[in-house]
Structure 1
Amino acid sequence: MDYGRIYEIVNGHTRFYADSLPMIASENITSKFVRRCYLSDLGHRYAEGKVGERYYQGCIFIDEIESSAIALTKELFEAEHANVQPVSGVVANLAVFFALTDPGDKIMAYSVPCGGHISHDRVSAAGLRGLSTLYYPFDNDSFEIDIDATRNIALKEKPKLFVLGTSLILFKQPVEEIKEIADEINARVMFDASHVLGLIAGRQFQKPLKEGADVMTGSTHKTFFGPQRAVILCRRELADVIDRSVFPGVVSNHHLNTLAGYAVSAMEMKIYGEDYARQVIDNARKLAERLHELGLDVVGENRGFTETHQVAVDVSRHGGGEKVAEKLEAAGIILNKNLLPWDSLKDTVNPSGIRMGVQELTRLGMKEPEMEEIAEIIYGVISGKISEKEAGNRVKQLKSEFNTIKYTFEEHLAYEFPEIC
């Protein structure tokens, strides 16, 4: 294979997504204003250390970018302190674990089937820190933590850190209630806002820091408008320990081209985030309602299905999540299989659920009528009432009408091919 083939593959990928409905809940599309930073000279440079305290020369312009990014982040999230150096959500979580725990400590988090992210568990970042993860007692019917049972476990086991925020996140989470328990045992509360960061910035979701979380982490490329990296926000009293855990703890150089892209995306979020976040939630709810009307087992009916960008469906009656996700991919609908609270970890290969997100489709300008049409195509494929080929044609036709990025300084085509390719 030569370099030309790589370019062909990149273009093939772009064409594939131009004709598909991207509904992976952890992805979004960036504007050209953000993308311009990717290919800048910043991608070649290093800036170890903090603003004004670098270990290399030549960082005067980088300092200005990072200072702007910090100021915008603190403003968007009403935070006392912000660190914008983590290069991914897992790295941000690992930094917090290093800052607030010691090896051998216990933490409490959601189990993976109940939506927890792997970085909160022993198989990933928490385990690398030497932590033992206890799981919140979870009510499958209400889709909520059992607070009384959690208190009983916490008083006995004395976890050092309570982790909230999940990978499958449909509803607001009990920050205030968990903070009360944490205060009883002198523990801290962390909220992983990776999936809902843009909804929080857009003032359409709960405010974990205001509700009592000591620290909030979040990747910047899901509901937020940014490139793939992350932020950590915390109380002023934790600023030094968090910063030290990021650098020199888990980050050296912090990918300065995407840092600049993040700063631009934060500007976009400041201006357009509220309208965008409101439409995201409206779209997700409409999609869930229509899927339910058509007869699919949409999770969370008793709570209105969703308060975020995500919709989850139990497709165990239709062959399970793997089979359904593959059928939908063949029709140009890109989402993922997902464990649900009633699944076992043994079901990871073929769980009972699928998870979808509407944030990227919303950024392309889709609204409630398009969500209804998408629901009908999804139902048609799952039920076998329309062929994958027919569904694919409908998907291409629909997507052809929505190929422009909205909620940015100047609307533009979403799937442009760089000249180098």
Structure 2
Amino acid sequence: MNELKKLEYYQNYQDIEKCFLKTKINTLPLCAAENLISPFVKIPLSSDYQERYIMNGLHSYDPLNNFIGSTFLFDIYHLINLQCTKLFGSIYADARTLSGMNCVTSLLMSITENGDKIMVSDSQCGGHQSMKNVCERLGLIIFNMPFDFENYSIDYDETYQILKKENINYFLYAPSDIINPPNYSKLKLPENTVFLYDASQTLGLIAGNQLDNPLITIDNSIVFGGTHKTLPGPANGLIMTCSKEWALKIDSNISPKYIRHTQMHQVVSLLYALFEMEIFGVEYSKKIINYAQELGLELRKREFDIPFIGNQATYTHQIFIKTSEKLMNTIYSNAFKYNITLNKKVKKLFDIHGIRLGTQEIARLKWDYSPIKEIANIIDSLKDNQKDTLTLMDQLNIPREIEFTFKTEAT
């Protein structure tokens, strides 16, 4: 240990970690893309699983043509599959990909061919801005998804007409910004079109039975995404389907073609997060959406331009605030100064400029009371009164303890 203390860059790291932890304790987490993972879910991250290799997947695994000892890792894959069947109704679940972006890239490389046609949700209507880049790089022919900006939803009729007319193979719906989740009773697809839903933002809300599940309602569908937003797991990817055909194709292509070393400690950590969601997912997901709806209402009372859908600001974990460019930059600059995490947005969905908030992380904290009015006051203070921001942040007792988790370690 004495030798370690002599290392210059080790000491630099210690300084970084000290500052990081100090800042984290005093941060108000309102970023829609991040979440906390529990001490329970962190248990496997220090396990020996990450030191072991396995090739192939659930259907293509051959123990006699694999790494010796990999049968234990295969059993983990099997448990992931069983747990996702419980939570999502899937017949196949694949947790080999390493993150949300690695997930969609690996999936598209596994199921598409150069020259296939794909409809993609554009970034201007809330779609993930990297999706078109990936599709272009894979040689796919891209069509923009029609969007109803007035109702913050897919334009269902126009979408169907284009899918049918152009004989499009895949419909990739990948929302990064979403307050109005899809109505699957309105989503008609031609028989040959596969619905690919990047549910990174909403996986936890689906698992918690607060949002409709396309795996149940759309036969020809694949649901996938990152597992560290509303699903409070590690940074990992998850792919699910109820189609045997797609299951076999995904299973045989992802590994060892595109991924060699699956990060098994991450996979087991995800399994632990899925255990949490089985017990606590419904209650947690309800709290996320309740907090988001309450915060949207409180911000509207404070004269923020909050778009509503019917009588609610949102049906997910996200809240949109429309602003001028100047106000957007002022709010973001002050939020940065006072450790309030949020995102600024420049796109048509926000009438060009705006702020996006998320409640999935504050909903995990063990508050003694509802903090929503206090949080709304803090956001209001970011407009121009920084003295109020400092006072209000000091008054807000941000809990360090989280809930919706198991109190004891699994044995």
Normalising by structure 1, we get a TM-score of 0.88
Residue of structure 1 equivalent to 2:288: 280
AA at the equivalent of 2:338: A
For this pair of structures, how many residues does the alignment match?
A: 396
- Deviation for aligned residue 1:394: 2.4
The equivalent residue for 1:327 is: 334
Amino acid across the alignment from 1:395: M
Q: Determine the structure 2 residue equivalent to 1:348.
A: none
Secondary structure at 2:251 match in 1: helix
Match of 1:163 in 2: 172
Quick check: 2:153–2:181 contact (8 Å CA) kept in 1?
no
What is the Cα deviation at residue 127 of structure 1?
2.1
1:106 aligns with 2:104: no
- Deviations for 1:47-68, whole angstroms, at most 9, x for unmatched residues? 2223553521122432333322
Q: What is the rounded CA distance, in whole Å, between the counterparts of 1:174 and 1:107 in structure 2?
A: 21
Name the SS for the 2:239 alignment partner: strand
Q: Residue 354 of structure 1 aligns to which amino acid in structure 2?
A: I
Match of 1:371 in 2: 372
CA contact (8 A) 1:95 1:249 kept: no
The aligned counterpart of 1:38 is: 45
> Which whole-Å CA distance do the structure 1 matches of 2:369 and 2:136 have between them?
42
Letter in 2 for 1:292: R
Deviations 1:221-274 (A, max 9, x none): 100121000110012221110112321233211111111111111101101111
Report the alpha carbon displacement of residue 34 of structure 1 after superposing the two structures with TM: 1.4
Which secondary structure does the structure 1 equivalent of 2:123 belong to? coil
Match of 2:127 in 1: 116
Shift of 1:134: 1.4
How far 1:359 sits from its partner (Å)? Answer: 0.5
Residue 189 (str. 1) matches residue 189 (str. 2): no
CA distance in 1, matches of 2:173, 2:345: 19
What is the Cα deviation at residue 282 of structure 1? 0.2
Question: How many angstroms apart in 2 are the aligned matches of 1:277 and 1:211?
Answer: 21
Distance 2:52 2:395 in 1: 43
Paired residue for 2:318, among 286, 298, 310? 310
1:13 corresponding residue in structure 2: 20
Letter in 2 for 1:335: L
Cα shift readout 1:275-307 (whole Å, capped 9, x = no counterpart) = 000000000000111111110011335462100
Task: Measure the CA separation in 2 of the matches of 1:273 and 1:96.
Answer: 26
Q: Could you report, residue by residue, the CA deviation over 1:11-41 in whole angstroms, capped at 9, with x for unpaired residues?
A: 3112211101111111110111111221222
Distance in 2 separating the partners of 1:368 and 1:131: 51
Taking structure 1 as reference, are residues 358 and 104 closer, same or farther at Cα in structure 2, changes over 3 Å only?
same
Amino acid at match of 1:273: G
Q: 1:395 corresponds to which residue?
A: 393
Instruction: Return the offset for 1:366.
Output: 4.2
Q: 1:39-188 to 2 correspondence within 5 Å?
A: 39-50=46-57, 53=62, 55-121=66-132, 123=133, 125-178=134-187, 180-183=188-191, 186-188=192-194
Decide whether aligned partners of structure 1 residues 320 and 44 sit closer, same or farther in structure 2, where only a CA change above 3 A counts.
farther
Change (3 A) 1:141 1:211: same
C-alpha deviation, 1:376, in angstroms: 1.3
Compared with structure 1, are the counterparts of its residues 380 and 151 closer, same or farther at alpha carbon in structure 2 (3 Å cutoff)? Answer: same
> Which residue does the alignment assign to 2:406?
409
Instruction: Name the aligned partner's letter for residue 30 of structure 1.
Output: I
Contact residue 333 and residue 395 of structure 1 kept, 8 A: no
1:2–1:133 Cα change, 3 Å: same
C-alpha contact 1:91 1:250 (8 A) present in aligned 2: no
Q: Distance in 2 between matches of 1:120 and 1:63?
A: 31
Does residue 357 (structure 1) correspond to residue 358 (structure 2)? The answer is yes
State the alpha-carbon separation in 2 of the partners of residues 409 and 101 from structure 1: 41
User: Secondary structure of 2:171's partner?
Assistant: strand
Distance 1:392 1:254 in 2: 44
The match for 1:203 is: 209
CA distance in 2, matches of 1:92, 1:2: 33
What is the TM-score normalised by the length of structure 2?
A: 0.90
| Residue segments in structure 1 that go unaligned for 5+ positions in a row | 345-350, 413-421
Quick one: structure 1 residues 81 and 342, their matched pair in 2 at CA, closer, same or farther if it must change by over 3 Å? closer
Q: Quick one: structure 1 residues 126 and 320, their matched pair in 2 at CA, closer, same or farther if it must change by over 3 Å? A: farther
In structure 2, what is the Cα distance between the partners aligned to 1:292 and 1:151?
Answer: 35
| 1:368–1:191 distance in 2 versus 1, CA, 3 Å | farther
Partner amino acid, structure 1, of 2:227: T
Gaps of 5+ in 2: 1-7
Are the counterparts in 2 of residues 291 and 298 from structure 1 also a CA contact under 8 Å?
yes
| Cα deviation 1:165-198 (Å, max 9, x = unaligned) | 41101112143433x2332xx1111111111000
Aligned partner of residue 359 in structure 1, secondary structure:
coil
- Aligned counterpart, 2:302: 294
The alpha-carbon deviation at position 368 of structure 1 amounts to 7.8
Q: How much has 1:374 moved relative to structure 2?
A: 0.5
Q: Relative to 1, partners in 2 of residues 1:341 and 1:252: Cα closer, same or farther, differing over 3 Å?
A: same
* CA distance in 2 between partners of 1:194 and 1:270 (Å): 18
Q: Which moved more, 1:80-89 or 1:50-59?
A: 50-59
